[in-house]
Amino acid sequence: MSLLTNWFPSLRSLAGHLAVLVLFLGPLSASAQKLYVFFPSEVKPIVMQEKLGAQCSEATVTAFARYNDFAMMLRATPPDFIIAKPDLVAQLPDFSVVANGLNNGKKTEKYVIMGVDAQVKKSDITPETVLGLVDFLGRRKTISFARDLLGIETRISRVAKLEDLLPLLTFKQAKAVILAEREVQYFKQISNLKFVVSSIPDADVGIVVLAQKKGADGDAVIKAVKSFDAELNAILGVQKWN
């Protein structure tokens, strides 16, 4: 009995400390904004996360390298804000676009077909042609995205990251790859392959947006994103936000 008696005060003391801790942490957890970033880029997610976190201290920033990781966390712990391509945000009914990234005053950018040594035109593509594409929408939606761009359903080799497109071309696992025109320069910098680019008529794709979860607070986050510096905006493929 004396042993139990000795334990009870300790337990009461511990409970008291925990109660104080909960009261202290509660408001912080409630007020903290979560910002998820999924934007395929040559910049490593950890670097992107650090740079975003430094310029958006109003939120806890998490950057993802792969669509599947992003989708899993989105289901498990939905954020207050998302920075992603508008095609992806369009799939999320609980989120609304609150800011658009602009490049040369436009919300969209051109997509192209990039092959090696020889030009691969849209008209050259058949249902049997294998093309590489970064998976930023999930399997089914990424295939649909390519079909909408090309006007034909073909064989799409999906990769998790932008740099993963290069091995497809190096080892001839794909005839060509589909990517944003601005991303071509990255491959020219890291490879000696002779890349040949072909435009895709009317292939205007949204660059990047900031989306807010319905009912979430966060004017400070929106203001911070619109104030990103030139270096961070360049990582996200834009010059400014509106």
Q: What is the mean pLDDT of each run of 10 residues along the chain (242 residues)?
A: 42 40 36 92 97 97 98 98 99 98 98 98 98 98 98 98 98 99 98 98 98 95 98 98 98
Return the CATH number at 171: 3.40.190.10
pLDDT at 31: 53
The residue range of the domain holding 115 is 108-204
178: which strand partners?
113
Same-domain status, 122 and 200: yes
Same-domain status, 212 and 196: no
Same-domain status, 88 and 160: no
Same-domain status, 151 and 116: yes
Return the number of other C-beta atoms located less than 10 Å from residue 216's C-beta.
16
Same-domain status, 37 and 152: no
Same-domain status, 145 and 159: yes
Residue 14 domain flag: no
pLDDT at 29: 41
Residue 4 domain flag: no
Residue 184 domain flag: yes
Domains contained in the chain, number: 2
Using CA atoms, how far residue 3 sits from 6, 8, 17, 48, in Å, is: 5, 9, 22, 55
Return the number of other C-beta atoms located less than 10 Å from residue 163's C-beta.
16
pLDDT at 178: 99
Picking from 207, 40, 38, 188, the residue whose alpha carbon sits closest to that of residue 110 is 207
pLDDT at 1: 45
What's the pTM value of the predicted model, to 2 decimals? 0.86
Residue 127 domain flag: yes
Same-domain status, 54 and 98: yes
Per DSSP, 58 falls in state T
pLDDT at 115: 99
Same-domain status, 195 and 117: yes
Residue 94 domain flag: yes
Three-state SS for 156-168 is EEEECCHHHHHHH
Same-domain status, 101 and 211: yes
